[in-house]
Amino acid sequence: MEIQAKKKFGQNFISDENLINKIIATLGNNQDQLIIEIGPGTGALTKKLVEKFSKVIAIEIDSDMEPILKNKIQNDNFIFFLSDVLEVDFEELIKSYRTSPQQKVSIISNMPYYITSEILFKTFKLHSYLEKAVFMMQKEVAVRVCANKGENNYNNLSIAAEFFADKKYEFTVSKGMFRPIPKVDSAIISLTFKNEKNDLVKDNEKFIAFVRKLFNNKRKTILNNLSMLTNDKEQANKLLDEVMLNKNLRPEAIGIDDFIKLYNAYSK
């Protein structure tokens, strides 16, 4: 019996074995990993993950998938949670199931498109625990996440991803590979967490919020956006002078290192 995808959960199922193997390969060859899969659906990807890695935790919101997954996958290294991913305490989950503090942890998901940003930012908060995240998302969003300074799609999401990880656009996935067929193509991206820049700011979350506000109006200069944030154009001028940043630049023309310098000057 064919399982019907539910639109309210943003479900689109993949079954092509070559594609599944290609996605899993992006997680690397370290088999002693704790893998957390978000939205396993009918388990086509999950089954392969369980065969390769030492422990796999699957988090699924759709109760109809529970008997399907538990029937299909009965391995001892498979753990199933019926839950809304946005309500899961990932930190507690990792601490409970990781075999040691040194064990690598990676997240993988064919992301429900309607909560892509929420899952991304939830993942960023876990950066110190994670080795890697492999996400399938709408191609348009994937291009945005992986964009670099000066590119049209570069925005606060691009900077957040770069702040926490080495980001990579892996490959495009045609919409024809899914059932039901969505309206747009998807893409696989990988985030390899490096935690190099996190010590450069006082508060990671406040830094990301600061950058987001500076992208509120991409058509305005950094001076105008910063003036709106500070409610004081004179102060904005002084801050930009302090970090020697061209006041006429637009946010998309500014790299992450300059945003870090500007935030540190602003938050003193």
In tens, the pLDDT along 83-128 reads 999 999 999 999 999 999 999 999 999 888 888 999 999 999 999 9
Band (268; pLDDT cuts 50, 70, 90)? confident
Q: What tens digit of pLDDT does each residue of 207-242 get?
A: 999 999 999 887 899 999 999 999 999 999 999 999
Q: How confident is the model at residue 179 (pLDDT cuts 50, 70, 90)?
A: low
Average pLDDT over residues 185-213: 92
**Given this model, what pLDDT does residue 198 score?**
84
**pLDDT of the residue at 11:** 42
Assign 10 a pLDDT band (cuts: 50, 70, 90): very low
Q: Tell me what pLDDT residue 219 has.
A: 84
Domain boundaries, the chain: 7-196, 200-266
pTM, whole model, 2 decimals? 0.90
Rounded to whole angstroms, how far apart are CA atoms 161 and 154? 11
What pLDDT, in 10s, does the model give residues 142-159? 999 999 999 989 999 999
200-266 topology per CATH: Helicase, Ruva Protein; domain 3 (1.10.8)
Q: What is the pLDDT of residue 6?
A: 41
Query: Each residue of 26-41: pLDDT tens digit?
Result: 999 999 999 999 999 8
* Segment 69-92 mean pLDDT: 94
What φ, ψ does residue 29 adopt, rounded to 5°? -105, 0
Output the six-digit token pair for 41: 């659906």
Residues of the binding site: 12, 14, 39, 60, 84, 110
Burial (Cβ within 10 Å: 0-12, 13-18, ≥19) of residue 251: buried
pLDDT in tens, 252-263: 999 999 999 999
Q: Decide yes or no: CATH 3.40.50.150 for domain 7-196.
A: yes
For 156, 184, 190, 194, 204, the CA distances from 165, given in Å and listed in that order, are 14, 26, 9, 5, 13
Contact between 111 and 38 (Cβ < 8 Å): yes
Reported as a single tens digit per residue, the pLDDT across 11-67 is 455 767 888 999 999 999 999 999 999 999 888 899 999 999 999 999 999 888 899
Strands 130-138 and 104-110: parallel
Annotated binding-site positions for S-adenosyl-L-methionine: 12, 14, 39, 60, 84, 110
